[in-house]
Structure 1
Amino acid sequence: MTPPSTKARHKQATAETGPMLDLDRYVPALITFIANKLSKSANAFYQPAFGVNVTEWRIIALLAIEPGIPAARICHVIGFDKGPVSRTLAAMEKRGLIAIRSDPKDGRTHSISLTAKGRVTHDKVIAAAFERERRLLSCLSKDEQEVLIGLLRRMHENLGAVTDSSYD
């Protein structure tokens, strides 16, 4: 006897216990599962190969795009809390990957930039990052990849629908 399909299990569980998630169709779970597995595998690859973890790589990549940005901007773009970002930045500065400078006009604001060592690290990791992306998307046609990117951008822009304080 073959096991029941996800839909059949869902209907059975709903009848017995009330509503349950169908993890094959629940978009927040799918995105979370993909993100978690991508981060875990990136850490396992980037750390031994390049000496940076995935959080450091995300910051390095962002600083290559937006040199001199403040920590608040990094937190906003990456979606991390200030504490973990501050600790990561301090460790990266200590290792010589970034430079943190106080804004002469406002001592509370800091400008963060890649050092020469950070730029070299970026240039080594980016080829591996592009290859990982290529391999991940290899199951999709070029047209499907463009559709996926467009859909993900729209969802990212719509996050306020679930993160807005009026929703809570």
Structure 2
Amino acid sequence: MSPSPLPRKPRRPKPAEFVAADDGPLLDLDRYVPAFITFIANKLSNSATVFYQRNFGVNITEWRIMSLLAIEPGIPASRICNVIGFDKGPVSRNLSMLQKRGLVVIRTAPDDGRTHAISLTARGRAVHDKVYAAAIERERRLLSCLKKDEREVLIDMLRRLHENLGAVTGQS
């Protein structure tokens, strides 16, 4: 009998996050929460970029920026960085591309000449609204395996984890 082409799945220890191996400890990826969150986020982002780029001409970072600008028109780039958790470089590059395509307008902030107020243009809002409908449908399909009360519990738990990120990032 020939060996299986797929590696055999190791037995999963129930309470521990780590399993011992001959060469030292290994993460149990079936139980390690940061890995789950990262894997889900990466797969969601990658598939969203492909879908949004093909259908609406925006990547996932541009969509995140546009969605935030729809919620908070006129915010500065620093606020965008703070909310979506990106450094200034990628946000600045994406804003520049959005501006070149006529989807956002960047003006000097009226209350502080050192910062910029960024807003969606009418064209940007129209693109936002189309992507929004697709994003909500993607979310509906993702969460379709959960009951309504489970979705609410999940959202509450994710919100609490987000609020507790300072425990591992060193930021409040």
TM over 0.5: yes
In structure 2, how many angstroms separate the alpha carbons of the residues matched to 1:122 and 1:47? 13
TM-score between both structures, scaled by the size of structure 2? 0.89
Query: 1:87-139 CA distances to partner (integer Å, 9 max, x unpaired)?
Result: 10011001000000012443220000000000000111111000000000001
State the alpha-carbon separation in 2 of the partners of residues 135 and 11 from structure 1: 29
Question: 1:24-63 counterparts in 2 under 5 A?
Answer: 24-63=30-69
Count of residue pairs brought into register by the alignment: 165
Moved over 4 A (4+): 10-13
* More deviation, 135-144/156-165: 156-165
Q: Which has the higher helix share?
A: 1
SS of residue paired to 1:20? strand
Determine the structure 2 residue equivalent to 1:109: 115
> Which has more strand, going by share of residues?
2
Which residue of structure 2 aligns with residue 79 of structure 1?
85
How much is the aligned-residue C-alpha RMSD, in angstroms? 2.3
TM-score of the superposed pair, with normalisation by structure 1? 0.91
**What is the aligned partner in structure 2 of residue 131 from structure 1?**
137
Judge conservation of contact 2:18–2:26 (CA < 8 Å) in 1. Answer: no
Aligned partners of 2:74 and 2:34: how far apart in 1?
Answer: 33
| Equivalent of residue 12 in structure 2, options 1, 6, 10 | 6
Larger displacement relative to structure 2 (88-97 or 98-107): 98-107
For structure 2, the 5+ residue unaligned runs are none
User: Which AA in structure 1 matches 2:24?
Assistant: G
Paired with 2:9 and 2:59, the residues of 1 have a C-alpha distance of: 40
Q: Show structure 1 runs of 5+ residues with no match.
A: none
Q: Does 1:66 align with 2:105?
A: no
